[in-house]
């Protein structure tokens, strides 16, 4: 069994990798129409395949974190950090505006993750 800190770090890495996959998808999906032909074409796009690979890596890391943690109610809320990572990626790489409500929501999610982390 690995340490609590290792489970937290592993879960955060899994969440970050999943967030990067979301970013890759968002950047690439603008080029494809949302119909059957466009959907099938996305699977021949190297960036989309990279996003799928990142999701798979994130999934494996998450499964390992679940395996090592004694309770799921500890790991799953930490994985919610994907919301924070996606918000930060959206602001700095997609230049999306972040209003006060989104910032407040992100801070609440962060506070929840900290509280859950302290209860392991």
What's the whole-model pTM score?
A: 0.88
| pLDDT tens series, the chain, 120 aa | 678 888 889 999 999 999 999 999 988 877 777 888 888 888 888 999 999 999 999 999 999 999 988 788 888 889 999 999 999 999 999 899 999 999 999 999 999 888 887 876
- By the 8 A CB rule, do 77 and 112 touch? yes
Contact residues for 78 (Cβ-Cβ < 8 A; gap 6+):
8, 11, 12, 15, 113, 116, 117
């Amino acid at each position: 069994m690995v340490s609590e800190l290792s489970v937290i770090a592993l879960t955060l890495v899994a969440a970050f990798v999943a967030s990067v996959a979301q970013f890759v998808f968002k950047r690439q999906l603008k080029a494809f129409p949302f119909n059957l032909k466009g959907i099938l074409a996305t699977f021949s796009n190297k960036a989309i395949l990279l996003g799928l690979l990142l999701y798979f890596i994130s999934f494996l890391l998450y499964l390992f974190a679940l395996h090592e943690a004694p309770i799921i109610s500890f790991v799953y809320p930490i994985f919610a950090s994907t919301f924070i990572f996606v918000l930060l990626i959206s602001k700095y790489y997609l230049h999306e505006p972040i209003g006060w409500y989104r910032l407040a929501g992100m801070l609440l999610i962060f506070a929840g993750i900290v509280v859950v982390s302290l209860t392991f």
